[in-house]
Amino acid sequence: MIKKIFSKEEVQYLLENVNVTKCSAKSITYSKNFKLTAINQYVEQGLSPREIFRQAGFKLEVIGKDKADDCLRRWRTTFRNKGAEGLTETRGKGQGGGRPKTRELTDADKIKRLETEVAYLKAENDFLAKLRAGKKR
């Protein structure tokens, strides 16, 4: 799958559409209302995904010719599994990834974590010293 990269002009064009909440060079975030409307038009009116996107003011040559089909398929699956709330955008909203938080740790937990880190760094230094010694021979 080739990922479409949008130019600055394309990003600006997409941001002017009322159905887009955010847009970057790599992704488009569509409004929840547009997603629900698109699902409804597909199911109730039998419109094709491409026609739905065209009527919403999107140029398929800008967003990608298969983007409409892919988005609508994903939205319908999400709607079927999680309902309308599942269509709310959740990218980057604290899903448990990233660096672990250290603010809520007690002092004893912080000390234990730091002792573990020191032990790891000592072992790493010992390994590197042995590695350097082996290269000198």
- The whole-number pLDDT of residue 93 equals 58
| pTM score, whole prediction | 0.63
pLDDT band at 36 (very low <50, low <70, confident <90, very high): very high
Q: What are phi and psi for residue 23, nearest 5 degrees? A: -155, 135
Length of the chain: 137
Instruction: Give Cα 60 to chain centroid, integer Å.
Output: 22
The rounded distance, in Å, linking the Cα atoms of 35 and 87 is 7
Boundaries of every domain in the chain = 8-87, 100-137
Instruction: Give Cα 80 to chain centroid, integer Å.
Output: 20
Of 39, 6, 32, 4, which Cα lies nearest the Cα of 18?
32
Straight-line distance from the first to the last Cα atom of the chain, in angstroms, rounded to the nearest whole number: 50
Whether the pLDDT of residue 108 is over 70: the answer is: yes
pLDDT band at 85 (very low <50, low <70, confident <90, very high): confident
Contact 84, 74 (CB under 8 A): no
What are the structure tokens assigned to 41, written together? 């038009």
The rounded distance, in Å, linking the Cα atoms of 65 and 86 is 25
pLDDT band at 4 (very low <50, low <70, confident <90, very high): confident
Whether the pLDDT of residue 91 is over 60: the answer is: yes
Q: How many CB atoms are located within 10 Å of the residue 63 CB?
A: 21
| DSSP-assigned beta bridge partners for residue 23 | 28
Instruction: Report the mean per-residue pLDDT for the chain.
Output: 87
